[in-house]
């Protein structure tokens, strides 16, 4: 078996495998558009006798994490022909992808799982959920007259990105969107409305579509309460056209139900994307640990799919905002009793802000000195993970 990048003339092979694996059919127009945008350097395939057996895509992205921007490798389009399943093709592709992402400086990786247990075997772990609300017209927030205006069909990428970035940067895991990403997002969006304050500043937007008697909103982004009220009033003014609004991709810390006159709306909590640290050393050195007081924790990491992450890592923080991260030499760590022992998936869930160390200790997902587990928790800034995109 050979693992290599796809060639420019292998788009049709890749497209056929995707269509079969993901149950869709592209039109000739869509295929032609796909050929134009095909980036073979992002596609990796497992070949036998020069025949494509399985493939995946690695998207070079950046994410927000505790006020910093980190390089992230987005795994997408993982597919294999049914006759090739359980032959190890995907496992070898994923192992190769981890090596490639490390080489490219992508210290963390995200993917949307077809099977959570499958990807857990390779070190990915859930890092974010999203809420989904279904709100009938009679449960809407009261219409409120606010200064400023809501303008429909604003597709100015600079304005949208400015509002999005201010909103997204407060969360862990949101994408840093470039112009290409915005163009793809806007091409798939039916309607957009932007709220402008009385001074003319863009302070919120909604992306939505209308389906029969339902308004479905995939992005409800606002920078302040005024923008939120204005955009909800805009939705409420559709009351002669719709019977309900469905909000998807709502962040986990959203407080809307409590603010409604009738909070008994339909609410769902949906496990969404998985993440895994690709390079522990580089990731820890970029991480924004809290430095309120001096602290030191030793962490033994287990990573079967990326052996360069195996070992003991010492994290030392000082109140003068300095952080030192070092890996113990192999000869040193053989007999060293680390404060905390965990696998790469659990470490990823903790540092992305999805789960707290103390809670994971209680359910046996990590082992260690309880005092040191509490100390590690105190070193991690509080932030809600969220991802509004899909790939």
3-state secondary structure 124-147: CEECCEEEEEEEEHHHCCCCCCCC
Written as six digits, the tokens of 318 are: 């000082």
Domain 274-379 belongs to what topology? Nonspecific Lipid-transfer Protein; Chain A (3.30.1050)
- In tens, the pLDDT along 29-88 reads 999 999 999 999 999 999 999 999 999 999 999 999 999 999 999 999 999 999 888 889
Which among 55, 51, 62, 67 is positioned nearest to 22, based on CA atoms?
55
Residue 335, pLDDT > 90, answer no
- In tens, the pLDDT along 94-136 reads 999 999 999 999 999 999 999 999 999 999 999 999 999 999 9
pLDDT (average), residues 129-151 = 95
| Kind plus residue range of the DSSP H or E element containing 150 | strand 149-152
Alpha carbon distance 282, 108 (integer Å): 10
The pLDDT of residue 207 is 97
Instruction: Give the percent of the chain with pLDDT over 70.
Output: 100
The pLDDT of residue 373 is 98
Q: Quickly state the pLDDT bin for 338 (edges 50, 70, 90).
A: very high
pLDDT (average), residues 204-225 = 97
Residue 320, pLDDT > 80, answer no
Q: What is the pTM of this model?
A: 0.94
Computed over every residue of the chain, the mean pLDDT equals 96
Is 131-271 a domain of CATH 2.120.10.80? no
Q: Quickly state the pLDDT bin for 188 (edges 50, 70, 90).
A: confident
Q: Quickly state the pLDDT bin for 180 (edges 50, 70, 90).
A: very high
Q: Is there a contact between 312 and 326 (Cβ–Cβ < 8 Å)? A: no
Residue 372, pLDDT > 90, answer yes
The pLDDT of residue 333 is 80
Which sequence spans correspond to the domains of the chain?
2-106, 131-271, 274-379
Instruction: Give the percent of the chain with pLDDT over 90.
Output: 93
Architecture of domain 2-106: 3-Layer(aba) Sandwich (3.40)
Q: What is the 3-state secondary structure (H, E, C) of 42-95?
A: HEEEEEECCEEEEEEEEEEEEEEECCEEEEEEEEEEEEECHHHCCCCHHHHHHH
The pLDDT of residue 322 is 85
pLDDT (average), residues 315-320 = 89
Alpha carbon distance 280, 260 (integer Å): 43
**Domains 2-106 and 274-379 belong to one CATH topology:** no
pLDDT (average), residues 304-328 = 93
């Amino acid at each position: 078996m050979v693992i290599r990048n796809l060639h420019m003339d292998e788009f049709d092979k890749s497209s056929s495998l995707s269509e079969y694996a993901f149950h869709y059919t592209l039109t000739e127009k869509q295929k032609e558009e796909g050929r134009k945008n095909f980036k073979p350097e992002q596609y990796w395939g497992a070949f036998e006798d020069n025949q494509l057996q399985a493939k995946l895509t690695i998207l070079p992205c950046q994410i927000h994490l505790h006020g910093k921007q980190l390089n992230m490798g987005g795994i997408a389009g993982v597919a294999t022909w049914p006759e090739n399943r359980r032959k190890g093709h995907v496992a070898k592709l994923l192992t190769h992808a981890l090596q490639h992402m490390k080489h490219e400086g992508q210290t963390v990786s995200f993917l949307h799982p077809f099977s959570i247990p499958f990807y857990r075997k390779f070190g990915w772990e859930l890092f974010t959920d999203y809420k989904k609300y279904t709100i009938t017209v009679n449960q809407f927030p009261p219409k409120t007259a606010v200064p400023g205006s809501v303008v429909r069909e604003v597709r100015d990428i600079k304005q949208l990105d400015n509002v999005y970035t201010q909103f997204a940067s407060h969360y862990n895991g949101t994408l840093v969107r470039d112009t290409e990403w915005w163009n793809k997002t806007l091409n798939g969006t039916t309607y957009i409305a932007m709220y402008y304050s009385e001074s003319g500043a863009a302070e919120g937007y909604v992306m939505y579509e209308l389906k029969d008697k339902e308004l479905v909103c995939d992005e409800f982004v606002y920078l302040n309460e005024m923008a939120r009220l204005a955009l909800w009033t805009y939705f409420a003014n559709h009351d002669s056209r719709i019977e309900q609004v469905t909000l998807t991709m709502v962040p986990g810390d959203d407080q809307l139900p409590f603010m409604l006159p009738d909070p008994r709306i339909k609410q769902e909590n949906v496990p969404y994307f998985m993440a895994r640290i690709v390079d522990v050393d580089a990731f820890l050195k970029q991480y924004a640990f809290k430095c309120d007081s001096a602290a030191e924790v030793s962490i033994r990491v287990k990573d079967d799919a990326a052996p360069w992450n195996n070992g003991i890592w010492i994290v030392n923080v000082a109140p003068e905002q300095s952080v030192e991260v070092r890996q113990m030499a192999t000869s040193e760590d053989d007999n060293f009793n680390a404060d905390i022992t965990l696998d790469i998936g659990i470490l990823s869930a903790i540092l992305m802000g999805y789960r707290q160390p103390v809670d994971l200790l209680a359910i046996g997902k990590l082992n260690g000195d309880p005092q040191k587990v509490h100390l590690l928790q105190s070193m991690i800034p509080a932030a809600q993970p969220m991802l509004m995109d899909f790939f």
